[in-house]
């Protein structure tokens, strides 16, 4: 049971990203942006940046989540993961509407990532020092 919470957060993160991918496809049609173009309409460009920024963040978040789960606590990893998800959802909605409004969601998810990264690093170091 211990690892179920981080697994659920991982699945929800992937679902979030998939929904964003679908929304980019919808926005391509709505704003007439044909692939492979990624520019030409500011509304589309914001939606596309949400997708790319979320992908960039997933690459950092998922390993940190699982390292923290293993070396510190699956429960706390899951709770911090919920915060990351809330931040990314806020970021996606805010940035899609207005680029200047993205800061709060970005800050929330960045802080959650930093907690996971620092916690995982400390967990690894403490385990090494304990000879485990």
Which domains does the chain carry?
4-129 (1.20.120.550)
- For tokens 């978040």, the residue is 61
Using alpha carbons only, what angle is made at residue 129 by residues 124 and 132, rounded to the nearest 5 degrees? 70
Q: What is the pLDDT confidence band of residue 1, given thresholds at 50, 70 and 90?
A: low
Summarize pLDDT for 63-122 with one digit per residue, the tens: 999 999 999 999 999 999 999 999 999 999 999 999 999 999 999 999 999 999 999 999
pTM: 0.94
């Amino acid at each position: 049971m211990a690892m179920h919470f981080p697994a659920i957060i991982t699945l929800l993160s992937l679902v979030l990203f998939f929904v964003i991918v679908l929304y980019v496809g919808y926005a391509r049609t709505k704003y007439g942006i044909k692939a492979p173009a990624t520019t030409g309409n500011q509304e589309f460009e914001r939606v596309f940046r949400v997708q790319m920024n979320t992908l960039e963040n997933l690459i950092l978040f998922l390993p940190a989540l699982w390292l923290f789960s293993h070396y510190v606590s699956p429960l706390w990893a899951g709770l911090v993961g919920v915060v990351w998800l809330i931040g990314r959802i806020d970021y996606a909605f805010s940035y899609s509407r207005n680029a200047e409004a993205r800061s709060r969601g970005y800050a929330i998810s960045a802080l959650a990532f930093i907690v996971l990264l620092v916690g995982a690093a400390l967990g690894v170091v403490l385990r090494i020092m304990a000879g485990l």
